[in-house]
Amino acid sequence: MKIPESLARLTAARGHRDLSDLARQNVGVIGSPTTVQERIAAVRRLRILVEQIVDLVVLEAALSGASWEEITQALNRRDAETVQGEYEDAVADWRAAPASAYADVQDDARALDEWYRRHRDDGDPATENPVSHLLQAD
């Protein structure tokens, strides 16, 4: 396993799971009487989670050796130096993570695989263990 980029990808996978669960919950209460503030707050929680996932994917890309120019282009931003400045401390922190940060990655990966299998639809990739496969591929 390539550490720490695999941990960043695993963490992003958790974020994707949480986003899916939160979106499904919002659909479940769509017919309930709620205030404008409650409806907007629920959607803002989704947006915040999406932004966190984007940050994790950027971290993984940087940790994997992608150039800041490539990352900047993918973010549809203009200044690679600014983007690097926004993320370089986080990248350094992830590189310096202690070994204990990786203690439960296999269990987490298996749990995410199980979640994926439970929620997979016919149009989704047919893989059985996408997250565990990620850890084995590295």
Q: CA-CA distance, 126 to 121, in Å (whole number)?
A: 9
Helix (H) or strand (E) holding 78: none
Task: With beta carbons less than 8 A apart as the criterion, state whether 63 and 95 touch.
Answer: yes
Confidence (pLDDT) at 70 = 98
Confidence (pLDDT) at 3 = 79
The predicted-structure confidence for 37-53, as pLDDT tens digits, reads as follows 999 999 999 999 999 99
DSSP 87-105: HHHHHHHHHT--GGGGTTH
Distance of CA 37 to the CA centre of its chain: 27
Model pTM? 0.88
Confidence (pLDDT) at 29 = 86
Q: CA-CA distance, 86 to 9, in Å (whole number)?
A: 19
Q: CA-CA distance, 89 to 66, in Å (whole number)?
A: 16
Confidence (pLDDT) at 42 = 92
The token pair that represents 42 in the structure block? 């629920």
Regions of the chain short of the pLDDT cut 50: 138
Angle subtended at Cα 47 by Cα 46 and Cα 51, rounded to the nearest 5 degrees: 120
Confidence (pLDDT) at 10 = 93
Half-sphere exposure of 49 (CA within 13 A, CB side): 19
